[in-house]
A and B are shown apart, each in its own frame.
Chain A
Amino acid sequence: MSRPSTRATWTAYLLSLLLGLVLQIVQLPESLAAARPLLPAMLLAYWALREPQLPMLLPAFLIGLLMDVLLGTPMGQHAIGLLVLIYLVVSLRSFFIVFPLWQATLALIPAWVIYCFLMYWIDGATHHTADRWLRWLPALSTSLSWPLLWSVMELIRQPGEEE
């Protein structure tokens, strides 16, 4: 199996982002809905770590706006969260990629927490107060599903090739 060409990478990039958006709004049971992993954020972080030559900021911004439209939040709320997340991940990329997977999972926890905090903060600033501990559940579920997402994406990206 040869290295993925740029075009294949681009296709995978856009398709995975689209799929992330779809999975963001798929109905979950009421009890799980608050703990939905931040899939678009995870996918963007994955691609930022794995394929640094891809443009990240504009897609993050657009995906954020689309999420705002889908979820009915004020325009720009998720865009801000994703932009900050991508900035962190790209700037600290050399720090994240030296770790094996499980350590990288731990190292990324602050990034998810910052994202959750931004969402919480903007909600508060726009008078959507929902002061619950549940707000932090996505950070937990995202951290837990990060190794899974990473492995699955690696499998899809380079079928049949061992790292």
Chain B
Amino acid sequence: MTSLHDSYHRPLFPRGPGFGLKTLLMLALALSLLFYDVRGQRLQGLRHWGAAALTPVVWAAELPPRLWHSLGGIDSKSSLERDNQNLRQQQFVLQAQLQRLQGLEAENRRLRELLASTAQLPEAVLVAEIVNVSQDPYRHQIMLNRGSSDGVYRGQAVVDAYGVMGQIVEVAAHSAKALLVTDPDHGVPIEINRTGLQTIALGLGDERGLRLPFLPSNADIKAGDLLVSSSLGGRFPAGYPVGTVYEVKPVAGEHFMEAYAYPAAKLNQGRQALLVWNRNGAPASEEPAAEPAASVPAKPAPAPATKPLPAAAPAAKPAGRP
């Protein structure tokens, strides 16, 4: 105990002159990585390799919640019965609605054929489990347990039972990362269900949800309006609920109004998400159906509504970082 261990015998000057230099070199390397990652897509490969190498880490991090969940799965008989009954009722109601929907869908297809536009309603979907790992608390992201091996692609829309959740931004072999609609980097082209006004909903980055900037000051929009996704930009399937407007207010000193909306999807509840394939989502085919409705209430619409494609397409992508 009185003498030092072998490994403690260090040179007389323990910090070699290289330490500061090495730190500087590595800092320079890290800074250039940061620069390239923020500016472009060139580091996607590195990210892919990192994500593949970290698969066991993610798996290990998911273990405790999963164990907890399986322990919590031991329920009393009465609660199971209650659940069962509720689900039965719910299913009955949904089944009834579905019957109506099937009729409507067939009618819709016939009408579309009359209009000579391609039918879009049947979309391929895949259920993905939300992997229970925490992300950076300041970014609104979730990780899903489906990856490129299931055919998941970057930019794919993610929905849940209540509405649009977000889109895939990063795909590994067996997992994918999705950016939620409330992330400040996220924009989604939307349509106001009541009037058909087309605009864009950006994430606010906190619990207040979504922001609809640059609305014309005479736009017909009010609290309680349902926002549904529009297929402008070709990324999201049309018609899924995105949010509900709760506040419309003019911006001081500007000619615009801004609206705020709560997201429709239950973003931080539940364990499943639905991946939607929207491959034939050619935006042009949706145009004839959407245009007449859009032009009625809001003639002097600003950029998002008047020139749909160029304005909506960049917003559908995550703005800065992939």
Contact = CB atoms under 8 A, between A and B. Distances in A.
A30 B267 CA distance: 13
Interface string A18-52: 10011101111010011010000000000000011
B115 to A, nearest CB: 42
Contacts of A130: 138, 205
A74 to B, nearest CB: 5
A145 B38 CA distance: 33
Contacts of B254: none
A23 to B, nearest CB: 8
Given A69-B54, A74-B38, A126-B320, A90 B139 contact: no
A61 B32 CA distance: 13
Contact of B65 (A27, A71, A77, A135): A27
B132 interface: yes
A151 interface: no
A59 to B, nearest CB: 11
Contact of A52 (B14, B61, B133): B14
Contacts of B27: 80, 83-84
B5 A3 contact: yes
A128 B139 contact: yes
A18 B43 CA distance: 23
Interface in A76-97: 76-77, 79-80, 83-84, 86-87, 90-91
Given A83-B23, A83-B30, A73 B139 contact: yes
Nearest to A28: B134
B132 A76 contact: no
Interface stretch (B44-52, B121-129, B149-157, B160-168): B44-52
A12 interface: no
A36 B65 CA distance: 17
A84 B23 CA distance: 8
A150 B150 CA distance: 44
Contacts of A139: none
Given A74-B38, A84-B27, A57 B22 contact: yes
A11 interface: no
- Interface band, chain A: 35 or more
B141 A66 contact: no
Contacts of B36: 75
Interface string A128-162: 11100011000000000000000000000000000
A129 B184 contact: yes
Contacts of A22: 57, 60-61
B37 to A, nearest CB: 4
B173 to A, nearest CB: 14
Contacts of B132: 27
Contacts of B31: 76, 80
A105 interface: no
Contacts of B54: 21, 66, 69-70
A64 B8 CA distance: 27
A72 B170 contact: yes
10 contacts: A27-B64, A65-B46, A69-B50, A72-B135, A74-B37, A75-B37, A76-B30, A87-B23, A128-B139, A130-B138
Given A27-B132, A74-B321, A75-B36, 17 more contacts: A3-B5, A6-B7, A25-B58, A26-B134, A27-B64, A30-B268, A53-B7, A57-B26, A61-B30, A71-B135, A75-B37, A75-B43, A79-B30, A84-B27, A126-B320, A127-B185, A127-B320
Closest CB pairs A-B (n = 7): A69-B50, A76-B34, A76-B33, A130-B138, A76-B30, A75-B37, A79-B30
